[in-house]
């Protein structure tokens, strides 16, 4: 397939917002793809070159892309920057400049009448771009990009620039792409559930798409866990009382400490260790100490375990708050930081062992297997856990967790349904935090989607942020609150800089909002917010249509930023509409 064909499809998708129509338009093009190229098409459609866990990035700053465009068009970099400040989208600027450009491109010198690369050829270009490293690599990347932009058509250049800028702006998330793939290859969009289950087990959209096109839906069903390919983590619901929890789990359940650290999936094979975050990013380089310790602790090889990495005060023998472990998230002085900030790893589950998946084993079986794979050491521990069957037992354990500087507890089913549901948020796991005990106080992981400029001391910065939750049913973001409190001057400076890279001129198509903002952002950054209570709102779109009044939504009153940026969560893993409705009903004393 020609890359231009895919770009024309992107252009059509970009102009519409309805999910059903987007799926149909995309699937029409995917129908014509072959098995050798469909994996790359899937990646590019999500604005990626590789799956997240591979850990290879294009490393092409916006200024470098502007220089490449300057070489291609003859426009000065200052002129392009000026236009960018007005228009806000380098891809659209590229399209406009190249559409007007006379035939003075590279093709006029080579004698080519038209250069129309295939999908695989364009992907190979991105691959080469990403792998250019070392001294002088920046200039090489600029020249390589300029050469490509000089040869392709304006519409191809538009999306090449957007991909290298990590701003594809199509509003196509993984769920929508899986549905389009199902419709294209099987004629039935409901087969998306089979594709999603496979994707949750391997986190590799390229592999799922290729398997579908080469072997059909039956082969997709056979996709299972592979070491060094992370599993989408299982997620928890929340409840606000011990009584509710015990009733939900049938009066008996397992409880574990909920540590305030980095959730990590640790893969071990042939003494090689890779560590992945909850959003599937490879964070191995951040924890050389954990790599060494897990090898020492391993009784066997070829396994995947899950745990929480926390900062630890060895002198006072206590767990440190999240802010301490977050300082380990750096690319320089790794060994120095490892000495400065020691860690403990508390393992709580096993996903793969003895050359097969353990997802369908029951919780207590997995817990037993975990102890057969790993010995406890000074650094590698098993999570604090016990079985409870009364409110007193649960509350005693909960209070112990708080005394040990934990956030609260995780409550897990020990019934016959207690499998590991990769990528799912079900009622087999429930989190119970200190915040939830008071029904007028809760914490939410929300996505920044817009902002208004501040006044007074906040002049020249953003003063108020519009935040959204995620609607899993519709695959979009719904507004839930505006927040202006809890931000230090340092926070405001940070967000002004951080958000400048994802600023948009118009509301993102995957956002449902009736509130206007001075500035819109791609929904990428997740922050933690607390609030006094959830109230009925005719302004916010969270849960609109779920309640008795069809125009009523839900909003968070008196929100406050906790100071925590939730870096290990994708936007789609933010607090959901369903969770918020559950909390609202519990707050009112309804079921």
What would the DSSP string read from start to end of 461-492?
A: SEEEEEEEEEETTTTEEEEEEEE-SS--HHHH
458 is in an annotated binding site: no
Do 376 and 293 form a contact (C-beta atoms < 8 A)?
Answer: no
**Could you tell me which of 506, 432, 465 has the C-alpha nearest to residue 248?**
432
The annotation status of 189 as a binding-site residue, yes or no, is no
β-bridge mates for residue 357, sequence order: 352
Residue 373, token pair as written in the block: 């794979």
Confirm or deny that 201 is annotated as ligand binding. no
Q: Catalytic residue, from 19, 48, 232, 258: name it.
A: 258
Q: Which residues contact 38 (CB under 8 A, 6 or more apart)?
A: 30, 181, 209, 210, 212, 213
Rounded to 10 deg, the angle between the 77-87 and 62-73 helix axes is: 120
DSSP labels, 93-115 = HHHHHHHH--S-SHHHHHT-S--
Q: Cα–Cα distances in Å, from 67 out to 109, 127, 139, 309?
A: 21, 20, 10, 41
Residue 348 known to bind ligand: yes
Gap between the Cα atoms of 89 and 70, Å rounded = 15
Pairing state of beta strands 526-531 and 560-565? Answer: antiparallel
Question: Is 514 buried (19+), middle (13-18) or exposed (0-12) by CB count in 10 A?
Answer: exposed
557 assigned binding-site residue: no
d(CA 579, CA 514): 22
Residues 6+ apart with CB under 8 A from 135: none
What HEC string does 43-75 produce?
HHHCCCCCCHHHCCCCCCCHHHHHHHHHHHHCC
The phi, psi pair for 428, rounded to 5°, reads -80, -25
Is 258 catalytic? The answer is yes
3-state secondary structure of 90: helix
Q: Are 534 and 575 in contact (CB under 8 A)?
A: no
Residues designated catalytic: 258
Which residues are part of a known binding site?
256, 263, 278, 308, 348, 425, 431
Which residues are part of a known binding site for ATP?
256, 263, 278, 308, 348, 425, 431
């Amino acid at each position: 397939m020609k890359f231009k064909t895919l770009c024309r499809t992107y252009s059509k998708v970009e102009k519409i917002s309805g999910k059903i129509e987007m799926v149909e338009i995309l699937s029409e093009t995917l129908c014509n793809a072959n098995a050798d190229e469909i994996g790359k098409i899937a990646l590019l459609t999500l604005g990626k070159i590789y799956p997240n866990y591979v850990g290879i990035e294009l490393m092409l700053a916006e200024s470098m892309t502007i220089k490449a465009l300057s070489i291609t068009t003859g426009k000065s970099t200052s002129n392009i920057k000026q236009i960018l400040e007005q228009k806000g989208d380098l891809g659209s600027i590229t399209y406009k400049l190249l559409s007007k450009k006379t035939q003075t491109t590279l093709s006029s010198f080579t004698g080519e009448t038209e250069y129309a690369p295939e999908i695989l050829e364009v992907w190979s270009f991105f691959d080469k771009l990403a792998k250019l490293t070392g001294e002088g690599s920046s200039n090489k990347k600029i020249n390589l990009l300029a050469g490509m932009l000089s040869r392709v058509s304006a519409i191809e250049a538009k999306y090449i620039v957007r991909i290298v800028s990590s701003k594809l702006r199509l509003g196509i998330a993984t769920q929508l792409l899986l549905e389009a793939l199902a419709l294209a290859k099987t004629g039935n969009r409901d087969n998306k559930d089979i594709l999603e289950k496979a994707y949750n087990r391997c986190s590799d959209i390229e592999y799922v798409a290729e398997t579908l096109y080469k072997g059909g839906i039956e082969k997709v069903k056979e996709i299972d866990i592979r070491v060094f390919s992370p599993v989408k983590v299982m997620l928890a619901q929340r409840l606000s009382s011990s009584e509710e929890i015990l009733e939900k789990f049938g009066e008996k359940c397992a409880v574990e400490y909920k540590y305030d650290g980095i959730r990590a999936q640790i893969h071990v094979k042939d003494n090689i260790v890779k560590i992945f975050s909850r959003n599937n990013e490879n964070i191995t380089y951040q924890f050389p100490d954990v790599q060494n310790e897990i090898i020492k602790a391993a009784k066997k090889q070829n396994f995947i375990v899950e745990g929480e990495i926390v900062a630890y005060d060895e002198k006072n023998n206590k767990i440190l708050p999240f802010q301490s472990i977050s300082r380990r998230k750096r690319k320089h002085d790794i060994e120095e930081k490892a000495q400065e900030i020691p860690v403990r790893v508390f393992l709580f589950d096993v996903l793969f062992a003895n050359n097969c998946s353990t997802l369908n084993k029951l919780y207590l079986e997995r817990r037993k297997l975990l102890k057969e794979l790993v010995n406890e050491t000074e650094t590698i521990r098993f999570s604090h856990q016990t079985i409870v069957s009364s409110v007193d037992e649960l509350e005693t354990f909960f209070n112990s967790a708080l005394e040990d500087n934990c956030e609260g507890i995780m409550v897990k089913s020990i019934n016959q349904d207690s499998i590991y549901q990769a990528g799912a948020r079900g009622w087999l796991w429930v989190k119970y935090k200190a915040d939830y005990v008071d029904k007028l106080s809760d914490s939410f992981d929300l996505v920044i989607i817009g902002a208004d400029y501040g006044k007074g001391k906040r002049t020249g910065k953003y003063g108020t942020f519009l935040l959204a939750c995620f609607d899993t049913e519709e695959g979009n973001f719904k507004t839930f609150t505006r927040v202006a409190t809890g931000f230090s001057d340092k926070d405001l400076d940070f967000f002004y800089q951080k958000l400048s890279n994802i600023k948009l001129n118009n509301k993102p198509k995957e956002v449902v909002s009736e509130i206007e903002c001075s500035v819109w952002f791609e929904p990428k950054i997740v922050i933690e917010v607390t609030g006094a209570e959830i109230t009925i709102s005719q302004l916010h779109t969270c849960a609109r249509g779920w309640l008795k009044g069809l125009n009523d939504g839900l909003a968070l009153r008196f929100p406050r930023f906790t100071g925590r940026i939730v870096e290990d969560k994708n936007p789609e893993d933010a607090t959901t509409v369903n969770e918020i409705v559950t909390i609202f009903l519990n707050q009112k004393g309804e079921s």
